[in-house]
Amino acid sequence: MPVACRAGCGKNAVLKRPKTGDVLCKECFYWAFETEIHYTITKGELFNRGDAVAIAASGGKDSTVLAHVMKTLNQQYDYGLNLMLLSIDEGITGYRDDSLETVKQNRDDYEMSLKILSYKDLYGWTMDEIVAQIGRKNNCTFCGVFRRQALDRGAAMLGVKCIATGHNADDIAETVLMNVLRGDIARLKRCTAISTGSEGTIPRVKPLKYTYEKEIVMYAHYKKLVYFSTECVFAPNAYRGHARALLKDMEKIRPTCIMDIIYSGETMAVKEEVSLPSQRICVRCKFVSSQEVCKACVLLEGLNKGLPRLGIGKSSKAKKMLEEYNAKQPGSELDKAIIDLNDESVNTKSKGRCKSKVKNKENCGNCSGKCAKETNGMESNSKINSLLEQYGLENTQNVLVNGHDEQIPDEDDGCSGSCGKLGSMQIGF
| Interacting residues toward ligand SF4 by CB under 6 A | 90, 127, 139-140, 143-144, 232, 234-235, 237, 415, 417
Among ligand SF4, Zn ion, none, what does residue 380 contact (CB within 5–8 Å per kind)? none
Q: Which amino acid is at 116?
A: I
CA–CA dist 421, 45 (Å, integer): 32
Rounded to the nearest whole angstrom, what is the least distance from the CB of residue 127 to ligand SF4 in the complex?
Answer: 6
**Contact set for Zn ion, span 262-291 (CB under 5 A):** 282, 284-285
Q: Which helix (H) or strand (E) holds 245?
A: helix 238-253
Distant-in-sequence, close-in-space partners of 160: CB < 8 Å, separation ≥ 6: 51, 52, 53, 54, 84, 86, 202
Nearest to 56 by CA among 153, 199, 189: 153
Distant-in-sequence, close-in-space partners of 412: CB < 8 Å, separation ≥ 6: 148, 165, 167, 196, 204
Among Zn ion, ligand SF4, none, what does residue 297 contact (CB within 5–8 Å per kind)? Zn ion
Rounded to the nearest whole angstrom, what is the least distance from the CB of residue 415 to ligand SF4 in the complex?
Answer: 3
Distant-in-sequence, close-in-space partners of 84: CB < 8 Å, separation ≥ 6: 52, 53, 54, 55, 112, 113, 114, 115, 158, 160
Rounded to the nearest whole angstrom, what is the least distance from the CB of residue 297 to Zn ion in the complex?
Answer: 3
Among Zn ion, ligand SF4, none, what does residue 285 contact (CB within 5–8 Å per kind)? Zn ion
CA–CA dist 159, 414 (Å, integer): 24
Name the β-bridge partners of 83.
Answer: 53
Nearer to ligand SF4, 47 or 234 (CB): 234
Rounded to the nearest whole angstrom, what is the least distance from the CB of residue 351 to Zn ion in the complex?
Answer: 40
Cβ pair 344, 316 in contact under 8 A: no
Cβ pair 81, 93 in contact under 8 A: no
CA–CA dist 147, 152 (Å, integer): 9
Nearer to ligand SF4, 17 or 206 (CB): 206
Angle (nearest 5°) at CA 219 between 214 and 224: 125
CA–CA dist 102, 121 (Å, integer): 21
Among ligand SF4, Zn ion, none, what does residue 282 contact (CB within 5–8 Å per kind)? Zn ion
Among Zn ion, ligand SF4, none, what does residue 302 contact (CB within 5–8 Å per kind)? none
Nearer to ligand SF4, 91 or 313 (CB): 91
Rounded to the nearest whole angstrom, what is the least distance from the CB of residue 294 to Zn ion in the complex?
Answer: 3
Among Zn ion, ligand SF4, none, what does residue 144 contact (CB within 5–8 Å per kind)? ligand SF4
Single residue of 57, 225, 261, 297 touching Zn ion by CB under 5 A: 297
Among Zn ion, ligand SF4, none, what does residue 143 contact (CB within 5–8 Å per kind)? ligand SF4
Sign (positive or negative) of CA dihedral 235, 245, 67, 153: negative
Rounded to the nearest whole angstrom, what is the least distance from the CB of residue 291 to ligand SF4 in the complex?
Answer: 21
Residue number of the CB closest to ligand SF4 reads 415
Among Zn ion, ligand SF4, none, what does residue 54 contact (CB within 5–8 Å per kind)? none
Single residue of 24, 186, 294, 399 touching Zn ion by CB under 5 A: 294
Nearer to ligand SF4, 309 or 319 (CB): 309
Residues that bind Zn ion (CB under 5 A): 282, 284-285, 294, 297
